[in-house]
Amino acid sequence: MQKQNYTQLIQQKAFDLGFSFVGFSKAEFLEEEAPRLEKWLKENANGKMSYMENHFDKRLDPRLLVEDTKSIISLMYNYYTDLLPENKDAPKISKYAYGKDYHFLIKDKLKELYSYIQETIGEVNGRYFVDSAPILDKAWAKKSGLGWVGKNANIITKKQGSFLFIAEMLLDIELEYNKTPIKDYCGRCTRCIDACPTGAIIRPYVVDGSKCISYFTIELKDAIPQEMKGKFEDWMFGCDICQNVCPWNRFSLQHNEPWFEPHPDLLKLTKSDWLELEQPLFQEIFRKSAVKRTKYSGLKRNIKFLYENDI
């Protein structure tokens, strides 16, 4: 009864903080994921993201990451918006990067949730993460019953699709766990595979990160390979193609998070404006944005790659 009460308290507080989905899993070794991760790395599908090769054992067992972990709480936060660039020929950025960097917002909410747990339940220890630890967040979200892993390797929920950030909290107390993962509702659909212009979804449920537009425009620090010329469909930072074509995203809901609202000028800029982008405007528009990860020089590189003939 105590476990059930604790689980309900945590879930309700997470909803009060704005999370759309909350699920609970028992901390254990991810037996199914081990051979998949090993094969993915052997295929060099991580490209130059060498950090993915680190902490192999910890990725598969969170108890090695945070000692005494008994429970994994998976949390999802909606970032969907139907806003688009006003000029159809302007380069595009992923919806998740429209506003301020989500890491800061979600980390603050996790901190508040963790404090609440300690105040309400008592002596509880643990840690919380949002893209900041070697943890297979999609595997845990699936295990906790929040959704299934789609053919584009994203977690998809029946109620809101896939435009959702994932975070985790690892705790040293036992909670009520989901016992029935959601089944795969992708069926025979291959829209994400068919729509990917770089062929990054090499087979259903497996994305070769080294072929993904997001990888080229964010992770890759070297020159973008010339064989990718003309394949980016005007994406200059990230890519939403496989999510935009997913039928389940017809259920996406407009977020109501002010933090994610774009700078007033972001979606008004024309293709010419982007071609002529100078550092002061970059700093102004992306002051607290995730786009700063690629830096001014990186974004300029991406724009030049898209429109070399127009410069």
Structure tokens at 196: 């990917």
Instruction: Spell out the alpha helix ranges (H) of 183-276.
Output: 191-195, 213-214, 241-244, 271-275
Q: Which of 61, 131, 184, 273 is catalytic?
A: 131
DSSP readout, 267-295?
Answer: TT--HHHHHT--HHHHHHHTTTSGGGGTH
Helix%, strand%, coil% for the chain, nearest 5: 40, 15, 45
- Look up 101 and say whether it is catalytic: no
Report residue 179 as tokens. Answer: 């016992």
Whole-angstrom Cα distance, residue 46 to residue 220? 11
Burial of 2 (0-12, 13-18, 19+ CB in 10 A): exposed
Q: Which residues does the annotation mark as catalytic?
A: 131
